[in-house]
Amino acid sequence: METLALKLVLTPALIGVATLVGRRWGQAVGGWLVGLPLTSGPVVLFLALDYGTSFAAKAAQGALRGLVAEASFALAYAWIAQRRAWPLAFLAGSLGFAVTGLAMQFLAPAPALLVAIVIGALVLTLWLLPSFSGSAPAVPAQSWDLPARMVTATVLVLALTTAAGWLGPQLSGLIATFPLLAGVLTVFTHHAQGPSPATNVLRGLLLGLFSFAAFFVALGATMERTGIASAFVAALAAALAVQTVSLLLARRTMRRL
């Protein structure tokens, strides 16, 4: 019941805040916000409370593998979006996520190698993203736009997390990283303003994922040794430290583009 309430309240709140932030400070900053572990972090907390620290630690490892899949989503979506509409771009991104995610599950790299792969994938994807071209059209916000984003994101989160619960800790952690909030934000931005602003959402997402990675590295390393409370304190401290740097980079990106 607590997890359901969290999804129903937190998911629309996050997509609403990210949308308003994007309108005020730029799409890169909006994408950065939904790249943070604001939904997956609480989900792993409830997994720890319900199933124990060992289950949650494995889910954290699955979440780290999912970051490589998220990078594939962003890269595939951004390049297909340069010439195609959002449905095909979203399909390409989803396929990229699925293929890379399954590959990461199959390879199952050791923790230290996994961290190196995650960092390398995020840096490489940021470098490979299409550059901003032209200026985004100024599109007035429609009255239905924000509620539609919030409802869409909530329905998708409920459906995906329900399915993920059948798959065990590793796959649950990986599937929980599917960029639902960022995907909704990207699709609506792509539809309203075009591919370049949508790519900026994805660029911000990738910058936010460094904080996501720090959170789950710390969580996975400390969960079984120190207990739930101490592990989450350490994970939050690590995420906030990286978050500060990534926010500065996201704002610099927004000013440059």
Q: 99-110, pLDDT tens digit by residue? A: 998 898 888 788
- Identify the H or E element spanning 187: helix 180-193
Contact 206, 122 (CB under 8 A): yes
Please tell me the total number of residues recorded for the chain in this structure: 257
What 3-state class would DSSP assign to 110? Answer: coil
Torsion sign, CA atoms 178, 182, 185, 188: negative
Tens of pLDDT, residue by residue over 4-47, are: 666 666 666 766 776 676 666 665 566 566 666 766 777 777 77
Confidence (pLDDT) at 33: 63
pLDDT exceeds cutoff 80 at 248: no
Confidence (pLDDT) at 105: 82
Q: DSSP letters of 112-130? A: HHHHHHHHHHHHHHHHHSP
Least-confidence region, from 25-34, 52-61, 194-203: 25-34
Confidence (pLDDT) at 15: 64
d(CA 5, CA 61): 25
Percentage with pLDDT > 90 across the chain: 19
pLDDT band at 256 (very low <50, low <70, confident <90, very high): low
d(CA 108, CA 60): 13
Higher pLDDT, 164 or 103: 103
Higher pLDDT, 84 or 28: 84
Contact 154, 11 (CB under 8 A): yes
At 74, which amino acid appears? A
Name the token pair of 22: 């994007």
Distances (CA, A) of 43 to 89, 148, 176: 28, 24, 8
Higher pLDDT, 154 or 31: 154
Least-confidence region, from 3-17, 65-79, 112-126, 208-222: 3-17
Distances (CA, A) of 88 to 49, 85, 93, 179: 39, 6, 9, 16
At 226, which amino acid appears? T
